[in-house]
Amino acid sequence: SYMTKTTPWSWVVYLVLVGQTPTLYFEMKILGGASIGLVHNRRSQQATGGHIGWEPKTYGYHSDDGSYWTCGQKRDFGPAWVPYGDAAGDVVGCGVTPSRDVFFTKNGCLV
């Protein structure tokens, strides 16, 4: 895995899943509005630079309204977070299980 800065306001962490891997998980301390999630492959999101979840094979949890997005489809999901949610400093996590189920946490609690 590795991390790269893609624009002045975004970061991408690349993880490579091979076979049946253990649960992979990462957390970020959020200091402003954000989206967090997973991209099936790095080309999925690079085409538009849009929010994660707007493109095929992407999965995102958005701070403004707590929605979950995948393949351009929005659904109500969990609580909003910074700047519209609780307070600066929320810790939001994202993971994928060995069966490839995506999950999110907010301040240590499963969403």
> Where in the chain are the domains?
20-110
Comparing 13-17, 72-76, 97-101, the range with the smallest average pLDDT is 13-17
Q: Which residues contact 20 (CB under 8 A, 6 or more apart)?
A: 98
Q: How does pLDDT run across 42-56, given as a tens digit for each residue?
A: 655 554 567 788 888
Residue of higher predicted confidence among 90 and 13: 90
- Tell me which range, 11-25, 56-70, 86-100, is most confidently predicted by mean pLDDT: 56-70
CATH fold label, 20-110: Jelly Rolls (2.60.120)
Q: How deeply is 22 buried, as exposed, middle or buried, from its count of CB atoms within 10 A (0-12, 13-18, 19+)?
A: exposed
Residue 83 has pLDDT above 90, yes or no: no
